[in-house]
């Protein structure tokens, strides 16, 4: 019984982490879109380096979300039998 409760706690924490990472990723995507404004006439002010760094962070966050989603599915299987 206590093992199931521990798994449920771990599942709740994993879901929370997925949600937090998803929100961070959405914010980073919006920031990248803002850095690459297609209506900007002066291309010299586009901050490509910051956009590249944010894009790499988005990729890392996506990988972590995929890993946590897999972990969540495994925990759900273990809890439900």
pLDDT per residue as tens digits for the range 10-62: 999 999 999 999 999 999 999 998 888 777 777 777 788 888 999 999 999 99
DSSP string, 9-53: HHHHHHHHHHHHHHHHHHHHHHHHHHHT-TT-S-GGG--HHHHHH
pLDDT at 41: 74
Using the predicted structure, report yes or no on whether residue 67 has a pLDDT greater than 90: yes
Whether residue 53 contacts residue 28, with contact meaning beta carbons closer than 8 Å, is answered with no
Single out the residue of 63, 57, 48, 55 nearest to residue 18, CA to CA. Answer: 63
The whole-number pLDDT of residue 42 equals 75
**Total of domains in the chain:** 1
* Range of the structural domain that residue 47 is part of: 2-80
Instruction: Read off the pTM.
Output: 0.84
**Residues 71-81: pLDDT tens digits?**
999 999 999 97
């Amino acid at each position: 019984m206590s093992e199931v409760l521990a798994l449920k706690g771990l599942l709740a924490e994993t879901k929370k982490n997925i949600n937090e990472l998803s929100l961070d990723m959405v914010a980073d995507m919006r920031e990248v879109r803002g850095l690459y404004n297609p209506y900007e006439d002066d291309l010299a002010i586009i901050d490509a380096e910051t956009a590249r760094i944010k894009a790499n962070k988005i990729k890392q966050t996506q990988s972590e979300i995929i890993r946590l989603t897999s972990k969540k599915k495994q925990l759900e299987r273990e809890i439900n039998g």
